[in-house]
């Protein structure tokens, strides 16, 4: 007889902290959402420049962790896994952050490396795609972007030290960004992609899957949505041209214009230009690499299922 496990997955990234409470039946291979939510806490505020988590950013994040703890208690969660990624990896004062999370949730937070982050994202993103592999999953975060290729499981992965918060803080300082700032950001992303592609043979890609908030926001824009609709965004297939056009438009807009878009989360207004820039350059580079390998890539898939789902599965079905 199959056993359903109620788990809580928490993904604490550079820009946001997210919670998924789900019932998982490993035998049936089902994951049923009970609660899925996100708060923009900007944990990575200034980390790229100072090497430390700012006190106000840490306070925002630990407050959110305490709220998530209350939800887990109310829903009768059996097991919690808290995973922290790029900003926590890079911060000198991460031990203080770890202790704060431990006090809030009663579990030991895990500050994972980029390769494990990529593997969890792959597990979450490819579970319900229903398209042919090899899959290339791109998890575009605030501080890093994971690139992972595989079929049933990851075969190659790399974590690029570029994300929507980092690129905004490094380069996109004007509103809207100047052509010079955009060019510098593009050069930064290209350099990171050169390293990634030396490790991950992206030319083998048959299905390109994008996950996380920058990608889903670009997708909402490409679909012309007047509000954020996960049911329309999850599994959406766009042409490369549609993706590039949506990215170009978001990069060119000023802050007020971005804020006026009905699907735009308030916490993403200031960083979506960088997120769109990264996603545009990744999609175009992968398309060129596939063509160079004798293939063709004309479409891109967006998934609402990502590292959160991978974390939840890892609790119920540990490797």
Q: What residues contact 71, with CB distance under 8 A and at least 6 apart?
A: 8, 19, 21, 35
Give me the residue label for tokens 């592999």: 133
Domain assignments of the chain as residue spans, ordered by start:
5-112, 115-302
- From first to last of its 319 residues, the chain has per-residue pLDDT tens of 467 899 999 999 887 899 999 999 888 878 889 999 989 898 888 877 888 889 999 999 999 999 999 999 999 999 999 998 766 666 888 889 889 999 999 998 888 877 787 788 888 888 767 788 899 999 898 888 989 999 988 899 998 989 999 999 999 999 999 999 999 999 999 999 999 999 999 999 999 999 989 999 999 999 999 999 999 999 999 999 999 999 999 999 999 999 999 999 998 999 999 999 999 999 999 999 999 999 999 999 999 888 899 999 999 876 6
Fold match flag (5-112 vs 115-302): yes
Kind of pairing, strands 16-25 and 5-12?
antiparallel
Buried b (16+ CB within 10 A) or exposed e, 242-261: bbbebbebbbebeeeebeeb
Against a cut of 0.75, is the pTM above it? Answer: yes
CATH node for 115-302: 3.30.420.150
C-alpha span between 217 and 203 (Å, rounded): 26
Would you state the CATH architecture of domain 5-112? 2-Layer Sandwich (3.30)
């Amino acid at each position: 007889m199959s056993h359903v496990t109620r788990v809580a997955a928490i993904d604490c990234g550079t820009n946001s902290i997210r919670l998924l409470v789900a019932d998982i039946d490993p035998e049936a291979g089902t994951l049923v959402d009970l609660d899925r939510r996100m708060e923009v806490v900007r944990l990575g505020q200034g980390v790229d420049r100072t090497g430390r988590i700012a006190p106000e950013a840490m306070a925002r994040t630990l407050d959110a962790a305490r709220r998530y703890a209350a939800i887990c208690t109310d829903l009768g969660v059996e097991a919690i896994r808290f995973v922290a990624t790029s900003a926590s990896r890079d911060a000198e004062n991460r031990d203080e952050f770890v202790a704060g999370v431990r006090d809030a949730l009663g579990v030991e937070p895990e500050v994972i490396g980029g390769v494990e982050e990529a593997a969890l994202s792959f597990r979450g993103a490819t579970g319900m795609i229903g398209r042919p592999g090899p899959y290339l999953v791109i998890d575009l975060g605030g501080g890093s972007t994971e690139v992972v290729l595989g079929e049933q499981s990851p075969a190659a992965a790399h974590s690029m030290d570029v994300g929507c918060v980092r690129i905004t803080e490094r380069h996109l300082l004007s509103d809207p960004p100047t052509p010079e700032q955009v060019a510098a950001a593009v050069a930064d992303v290209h350099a990171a992609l050169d390293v990634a592609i030396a490790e991950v043979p992206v030319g083998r890609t048959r299905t390109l899957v994008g996950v996380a908030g920058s990608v889903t926001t670009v997708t909402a824009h490409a679909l012309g949505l007047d509000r954020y609709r996960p049911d329309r965004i999850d599994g959406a297939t766009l042409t490369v041209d549609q993706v590039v056009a949506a990215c170009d438009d978001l990069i060119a807009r000023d802050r007020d214009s971005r804020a006026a878009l009905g699907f735009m989360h308030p916490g993403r207004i200031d960083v979506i230009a960088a997120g769109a820039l990264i996603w545009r350059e990744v999609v175009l580079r992968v398309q060129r690499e596939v063509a160079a390998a004798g293939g063709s890539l004309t479409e891109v898939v967006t998934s609402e299922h990502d590292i959160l789902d991978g974390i939840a599965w890892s609790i119920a079905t540990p490797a």
